[in-house]
Copies of this chain bind each other. A is one copy, B any other.
Amino acid sequence: MSPTTLDEETWGVRTLMGVHDLYTRLDQVVEEVNIDPPLSRNARKLIVSIPFPRKMGELADTLGVTKPAFTALADDLEKQGTLRRERHPDDRRAWLLALTEQGETARRALMLQANHFVQSVTGLNAKDQAELTRLLDVIRETNGNTECPYS
């Protein structure tokens, strides 16, 4: 039996390490999905996060990067034809990002396989998988991080 340290036993530590592990392995599996044109890790995360046009600042927060880094990523994807910038209807400082048809196609390619590769990474039975999904939904709702159209 492996030796344990005091902090190995806390639920906070196990959650932290478990989330990190799951995230890393999902990331690796998602990376194996062939998309045309090929997308970087950040690009894949971004297109998944755009089910409808969203503000750039919000999306930067969603990805966990600063605005300058996000601007560069958006520039690349705009040049590539994967997304486009749109003016915000109410705030002339702000821009929305929307996927082009090409971007929607790439997003759909990822989404259609999501069930498969989540299952392959988690290895959970259907009941536990449903429970995990529910808990993650609750966490996102608690923090107002569900996607909503701007309004």
Interface residues of chain A, those whose CB is within 8 Å of chain B, are 2-8, 10-28, 30, 45, 48-49, 51-52, 62-64, 107-108, 111-119, 121-124, 128-133, 135-140, 142-143, 145-149
Contact = CB atoms under 8 A, between A and B. Distances in A.
Query: Helix, strand, loop or mixed for chain A's interface?
Result: helix
20 contacts: A3-B52, A7-B107, A7-B108, A11-B130, A12-B117, A12-B119, A15-B132, A16-B30, A16-B48, A16-B114, A18-B136, A19-B23, A21-B139, A22-B23, A23-B23, A25-B143, A27-B64, A121-B143, A123-B142, A124-B135
**This chain: copies in complex:** 2
Given A15-B118, A123-B143, A132-B15, A2 B52 contact: yes
Contacts of A20: 23, 26, 45, 48-49
Nearest to A117: B12
